[in-house]
Every structure is written in C-alpha cells, then in structure tokens.
Amino acid sequence: MTASLLLLKLMKKSVILSILINIILISCTQNRNSRDEIIQNTTSYNYELVGNEKTLSYLIDDETKYRFSALFVYTDKSGREYLTFYNTFFQILFYDLNTRDFLFKIQLEQEGPNGIVAPGGFYIEDFDNIFVTSSTTPFLYKIDSTGVLLQKIKYGFTESGYFIIQQRSITFDYNPLVFINSRLYLSQHPWQGSAVSKTPLCVVIDTVNQINYELPCMFPRLINDNELFTLSSESTIFSRIFNGKEFVYSFFYDENIHVIDIDHTKVRKYKIKSKYISSITMEKRPENRNEYNKQVYGDAAYGNLIYDQYRNIYYRFANPKVELDNGPDYAELVVHGRKKFSIMILDENFNIIGETLFPEWIYSPTVLFVHRDGLYISNNHPMNPAFNEDILSFQCFEVKKI
C-alpha cells in the first residue's frame, strides 16, 4: 500500500470517528436540554397492595447482626431459589427460600491471597462466579462459593481519565449490580465540590477486555441550584434498576423518575408524585450528628424503586414527612427503613395505578424481595413491638384491584 493510499484510509477513519463523536455529543446535549421535559402519564388509584396469609421466617444465628444492607434472591439453573444476604461479619449467607433451611456461609477473607478489602455488596451469576464490591477501593472481586478469589478487576479510571467512584451493591438504597454481556454498568455519584454536569450517571467496566468508559448521560440537577455539588450527601442518593431493556433511576429528592436506554443516550422523564408528599425540600442540616440523622430520617423523600418482573410493574417507595422524638438511634434505623412509608404501583408505561400507605413502625421497606407469589416485605422492623432479633421474617403482599 502506497503512503498516499494509507493516508487517505486514515483520513476516512478519522472522519467517521469524528461523525460518531458528534452524534453522541449532540444526543447528550439534546438529552440534557430535555431533562426538564416531563412525559405526562396518567394517575389512578384502582389497585392496592394487600397482605395475605403467606409468610416466610428464617432463623439467624448469634454471628448474624440484625442489619441487612444487601439482600437478594438467587435462582440457580435447576430453578432452586436461595435467599442470600450480606452479614456485617464479612459473610454471605445462603438459605433455601422455600424450605427456609440454612444452607451455608461464604466467609470473605480480609487478608492473604483471597483477601477482599471492605466488602460492600455482591452479585451472584452462579456459584462459580460471585462478584463482590468494595466500598473503599476501586476493585471488583470474583469468588466462588467457597470464598476462593478467582479474579481481581481494577477499575480506577476510564479510558478518558475519569476517576470511577466505588459502588456498593446494597438494598437499603436499592442499587444492584447490573451485568450485560460481561460488562458491569456501575452507577456513579457526584463528589463533594464536583461539577454535577460533568459527573456521569454510569460507567462501564468491560470485565473481559479490561476497558472502562463512562456513558454520556450526566447526573441531573435536583434541588441543588449550584453547578458544584455542595449539599448533604443524601441529596445525591438514588435507586436504580434494569428492567431488561432500560435503566430506571429514582432519585430520593426528586419526584420524577428517569428512564434511560442501555447506552445512556436517550432519557425519558416521568412525574411520579406521591399523594402523601406535597413537596420535596432540604433544610440546612444541624451540626449535631444525632439531630442531623433525626432530620434526615424525618424528611419527606422518595425511596427505592423495585421492578416486579413477574407482573411487569414497578413499586416506588415514598416517605412522608414525620415528626420524631429523641429516643431511637436514627443513624442505625435508616438501614431498616422509615417510620412511615407508602408504596406507589406503576404499570409498564409508568402510569400510577395505585398507592398504599403502610402502618408505622411495623414493616422494613428496605428489607424485601419480589417473588412470583407477590412482594415480600420484612414485618420485623426493630421498632415493631413484636420485634424478634433471632428471625428474618416476611409477609407477602399482592396487587389487588379495588
């Protein structure tokens, strides 16, 4: 090949690459400009969540603290269902979901060849591929069901130099890990003092080719009017799910939800307002830590978004503003959920079709799972008068037409 032909070929590639980049940038700009455009959906209250006689209870041992930051259901290839959760003693516990028998624990080692630094959650692909996140270091660890470390994937920076923020795979802020074709879609949050419009909502970790890159959709401005993120950290908290086609983001201090395609180039925004919340505001936080936690716990805010794949509907949690006394440790209670909450029911097109208000201090809206039977919610909140720290128990709720 002559030098002139080679130069022409390189120029053509450069032009194509430039066109692709411009298309992405234009798409991103259009999406940013359309963030304030809300798709009008319908609201009706024709359905409600009704508790039935189905309950599940699991005995927990003395080594298991009653604090469930990551709880998921895993189904193996044979169809056997497991209730799994992370223990603060660096263990992942496995129960048979239906027989309620305890099966085994994976002890996550902290040092040595199998050491995992600051485990922050997990995702089970199968028993030979269990991914564990770190809450302090940019590593994703792959282990098997015996705890042997199979792979240590570092994801500190993207190809463009963006520093990737660690993500925990937790359920009290429901944000499970999402893998699509061996690519991990890792959600992000703004750093204190960082530019909101330059913080991507999601980065991709290619676990096979070891390539990291950020997706074009940036973090939206919520109740923060400043370009730099300066508010309390809870103002950036969100729940994110993947419904098999799109990502859906529910920001706790925003009544709207954001529906985004896999590549994070197309955004649709829906107003999903609870009838129990008049508005979302954030007052200046007190310096006293106990007062700070009490204020956060009592504020009106939205909560987790859960996808029910069996019925093709969504549940969005809402927390009405409540007055609180000075008794409980609210920093501890926030893991178990608010004193008062409702669950909004959305159809497949994000129309509001119902909302159910739950009784105070009975259920834990952060300890739950979706099943073919219905939505199982823990009925053993630490403030429940019938609380029993030796069991993990659930009641089943079904969507019923009113």
pLDDT by residue (tens digit) across 54-78?
A: 999 999 998 888 988 899 999 999 9
Range 158-186 average pLDDT: 92
| Three-state SS at 97 | coil
CA 337 to chain centre: 15
Structure tokens at 77: 């290839």
pLDDT at 370 over 60: yes
Contact, 241 vs 266, CB < 8 A?
A: no
Note the pLDDT of residue 289.
80
CB 63 within 8 A of CB 71: no
Strand order in the sheet with 364-371: 301-308, 313-319, 342-346, 352-357, 43-59, 391-401, 374-378, 364-371
pLDDT recorded at residue 36? 56
Mean pLDDT of 76-105: 96
Highest mean pLDDT among 10-24, 56-70, 276-290: 56-70
Tokens for 172, please give them: 């009290």
Paired tokens of 247: 């990502």
Mean pLDDT of the chain: 88
C-alpha span between 182 and 210 (Å, rounded): 11
Give the pLDDT band (50/70/90) at residue 26: very low
Euclidean distance between CA atoms 141 and 192, whole angstroms: 27
Strand duo 202-206 + 211-214: pairing: antiparallel
Cα distance between residue 376 and residue 141, in whole Å: 30
Whether residue 13 has pLDDT greater than 80: no
Cβ atoms 60, 391 nearer than 8 A: yes
Between vectors from CA 31 to CA 26 and to CA 34, what angle results, nearest 5°? 125
Predicted pLDDT at 225? 63
Distance between CA atoms of residues 211 and 241, nearest Å: 23
Residue 151 C-alpha from the chain's centroid:
24
The tokens for 115 are: 């050491």
**Per-residue tokens: 47:** 């359905």
Q: How far apart are CA 272 and CA 102, in angstroms?
A: 39
Average pLDDT over residues 91-113: 95
Tokens 């896999």, located at residue: 262
**CA–CA gap between residue 109 and residue 95 (Å, rounded):** 21
Asked whether 199 and 189 are in contact (CB, 8 A), the reply is: yes
What pLDDT score was predicted for residue 229? 65
In terms of average pLDDT, the best of 61-70, 106-115, 343-352 is 343-352
**Confidence category of residue 28, pLDDT binned at 50, 70, 90:** very low
Q: What pLDDT was estimated at residue 379?
A: 97
Tokens standing for 207? 């676990």
What is the spatial distance between Cα 64 and Cα 336, in angstroms, rounded to a whole number?
A: 15
